Structure formats: C-alpha cells, structure tokens
Amino acid sequence: MAHNVGKEAFPLFQYNEFDVGALCHLASKMRRGLTCTCDLNQRPKRGGYNWAVFVLFEDGLEWVLRSPVKNHPSVSDESVVKLLLSETATLKYLKTYTDVPVPDVYSYCAYPNNPLRIPYILMSKAEGKSLEAMWEGNDLHDHLDSLEVKKVMSQLGHITWKLAQVRFAQIGSLFEENGYFVIGECLSKGHIRHKRQSLKGIPRGPFIRESEFYLSLIAVLIKHAETLPLAHHCFAAPVPCRNDYPSRDMWRDACDLRNDFVTVGQKVDSAANRVDYVIAAQALNHLISQYSANWSGITYPVNFALCHPDLTMSNIFVDDQYTITCIIDWAFTTTVPLPLLLSPPGFPQSRHRLDDRFYVGFKDGFKDAAGPDLHSPAMGLSVPKAVECVRNSQFAWCLARFLAFDSTDDVSLFRTMWESVYPSHQKLETYFFSQRALPCYRTLYKKISQEDLSEPPIQQSVTDLFTRPLTFELSLARHLTMISDWGSNYDPFECAGLRDTGQIFITERRLWRWILEYKKQHRDRFGIEECEF
C-alpha cells in the first residue's frame, strides 16, 4: 500500500492524511498477520468531532479507525488529546467491568507522533445499523407507537440501570494511569464545547460534591454568556420547534421569521441577550438546590455514575429485530449526579425532547432491570427513589441541556425548571422583568454593550439578509423589535414603552403561527406577495 498518496487524489483523506500502509500493517499484526485493506475511495463517516474509516480483513471482518477532526473550531488541540484518552479509558472500563455493548479498543494514540501520523482509536465495528439508518427518510414521529421504539427504549432503560451501578466517589472523566482507572478533569460538554475550554479561572474537577460540579458549570455558562459567541442562542427568541407546526414548510417559514427578528439589531450577541443569560444562570443555583433536595439519599454513600452524554439515533446500533448491538461515541463522558443519568435521551438529536410515549418504555425497562423487589437496596442505590427519579426526569433533562447550550429553545428549558420549583406563583416573565431593573445587571449591561457592534456593521447584516428595503419581513422584524422594547430592557432612562406591565416579550410559537396565517390570508385575499406591516 502506498504511503504517500495525495489528499487530492482519494476521498479517504477528506479530513486528514494518514499512513494507510501503517494502518493496515498495525491491524494485520494484531490479527496474527491476517491480510487487511483500506479502500482509498471510501468516504469517511463524519460526526460532530470525529471522522471514521474502515479496514477490511480477508475473512470479512471490519474494524474502524476513528480520528478527531483536525483544527475543530470549538475544541482546542489540548482538549482533543484529553477527550481521546478519556474515551478510550471509558470504553476499556465498560468492556472490562460491565456488559454494556460498546466497541472493543485494539489500539490508540492521542498524539500524531505515531506511524499512522494522526491521533486515533482503532476499534471494532458496531454490528447492525444505527437507528438513524434504520429510519432514514422517515419522520421519527411516524414510529412513536411502534413496537420497535418501545423495544429500543426499554433496552435503554436496562442499560441505564447497568450504568447506575458503575459509580465513583468523584465527578469527572475516566482516565487510565499505570494500569489503573482514575477520575480526572471533568470533560463534560458544558465544560468543553463552544470554545469553553478557553475560559480561565473555572474549576474543572474532579469534584467531590455535586454542588461544586453545578457551581462550576454555572460559572462556565456565565463567562460564556459574557464573552463568547452565542451562535443561535437568543433567550427571548428561541428557534421554533418542529413539533409545534403541522408541516415542515410552515416550521421553516417560522424559523425564517425568527431569524429575521434576531438579525435586526444583531440581537443574539447583543448585551441585552447576554445579560438575560447571566440572570438565568445565576438563578440556577437556587433551582438546583431545591430540586436536589428531592433526591437526597438516592445513593448511600453519595457517589456518581458514568453517563453517556449523547445517546442519539446515530450512536445507537441495532440488529434487524431492533436489539441494541452497540453504543458508540463516548466522548465527553463523565460521572454525574444520578438524576442526570436517570433521564431518557433526546431523539433524533440530544437537544430534541422525547414524546411522553417514549418515557413509558424507558421507565418500564429501568424498573424491570431493577427487579421485582424495589425495596431491596442494590449496591447502595435506593431503587424506589431511582424509579421515581426516572418518572420525574424533566428537570434533570432540561438542566443538562441548558448548562451545555445543547438546545434551540433555552427559555423553554428554563421555564420547565422554574415551574417545577415555583408551580403556582412568581411567573418567569415577572422575575426577569424585576431582575432587569436591578443596578447590578444594568451595570453589567453597560459594560458588555461597549463590545456590541457599531451601527454600520449591524445595518450591513440587515442589508445582507433583506434584499429589498421595505419587505413585509423587514417591516415585521422592526415592528416586533419596537414592541419588545429590546433596546431599553436595561436602560433606566428609557421608559418601558408599550409593555410597562411587569412582563418581558418572548417570541413563542403562537406569534409565528399567527403571522404566517396572516400572510397566507393576505396573499389569498389581495393576490400580492409583499406588504408593509
């Protein structure tokens, strides 16, 4: 096999060049000289942070070479090394001490100074197909009541029970040192993704108490909100959810209206949006302490379980009978407080909430794995409390995604947590209205606003989006901006204007649906495409 083939010549090197001959030699050596090949024309499989290619042995067996994406924009080279070492240790630990279905690790190196010239993990190929491939081209909701979904969710409940038995005295990520498995720095999504590893002065573990873990994540979220790009995250203007619209076209139109709104004034990275996230983050500590009180004593002594951070449809492999054969992609795995483990995954992606019908299969699978005698303690675990925790997992589900910015609708996540603590009094909007008036947040707003874009770049972004100056969409976005009092939320010298009611303006699904219906009726009635609002 040629060692120095050009990147331009073969699809295999789409993400990085490596020594194919060295790979085949390594794989062959590990199987006692059995010949293997690596197809130069195969296109690598790409995930969020890694790519993968396959080697084929002469007896038909396939292995996977997995390597980090080079120069990933949101993860530093230092974090890439730590993540690879931790994922390898996690896979080896689970393979040694549990029967959770994970890949076998045959060889790995976290640095490029090896014969392959790239950091890599060489592992077994998952049998079967991913759930994503099994349901390719189909809307997940077409399968909600299917026996296949119920079977998969029940198995995930079983696997979660098994992971609940794998507990450690600290919160952090698993590493291997001198032949021993140890808990080290916490490489959770909330600590690493979105360039968060670059934030200074953040405690990164390992943590002895769960309060330290949560305070660290809150500190990360606050610093992110103050200094890092917020991407699509706009607290008072969430991205519309597909489930809220009867058709995909209507949902896309709602997303367009939302994007128009946040583009006017560059709302996402504005000081007002950043301070809103700081307010939410600083309220979390009280919400978490109130929530955590419900689950004190769930384990004794207090300890923490390994948790897969991304149980999506692409990471769960099944056979033709929908029996789970393998769970892949254990990067960002950490030990966590048990309630974070005992919440169902998100399908099709981690950020997507499950329909309530999914929860039944997951809960029943977990309960079945616990056995008939729920009051018999299992390895220091209060089974009744654990089952109740699974039943009431919405707070933990929302918390994990809010802290990690793994969401398109942060205000909905925060509202769920808020209303679980304050079910009948102190509305969320009223709380934010009162907090915006506090001197500390107005001072922070003034400080952050010095970094806001000046008017010319903001106006240019509007010009780039709207090809004509007086489209319905531009007029609408400006009108909603005025109604929302966006520019005066934190300015004590500006009157509250149209909404001096102790409320804040949030663009929720009813608004976009009403506007889309108005547009449809207007076009049908007058036969024109554009109008001024």
Mean pLDDT of 53-77: 91
- Cβ partners under 8 Å of residue 479, min gap 6: 533
Q: Could you report the per-residue pLDDT of 274-310, keeping only the tens digit for each?
A: 999 999 999 999 999 988 887 777 776 778 999 999 8
- In the 8-state DSSP scheme, what is residue 499? G
Q: Could you report the per-residue pLDDT of 212-246, keeping only the tens digit for each?
A: 999 999 999 999 999 999 999 999 999 998 888 88
Task: Please report the pLDDT score of residue 316 as a whole number.
Answer: 93
Mean pLDDT of 315-338: 94
* Distances in whole angstroms, Cα of residue 244 to Cα of each of 27, 254, 336, 349: 49, 10, 32, 17
- Cβ partners under 8 Å of residue 486, min gap 6: 265, 267, 270, 272, 505
Q: pTM score, two decimals?
A: 0.88
What is the DSSP annotation of 250-317? HHHHHHHHHHHHHHTTT-TTSHHHHHHHHHHHHHHHHHHHHHHGGGTTSBSS--EEEE-S---TTSEE
Q: For residue 351, is pLDDT > 70?
A: no
Task: Please report the pLDDT score of residue 137 as a whole number.
Answer: 52
Q: Could you report the per-residue pLDDT of 371-393, keeping only the tens digit for each?
A: 775 555 566 777 878 888 888 88
Least confident of 218-222, 362-366, 449-453, 485-489: 449-453
Task: Please report the pLDDT score of residue 440 as a whole number.
Answer: 94
Residue 327 pairs in a beta bridge with 316
Task: Please report the pLDDT score of residue 531 as a whole number.
Answer: 46
Q: For residue 429, is pLDDT > 80?
A: yes
pLDDT category at 527 given cuts 50, 70, 90 is very low
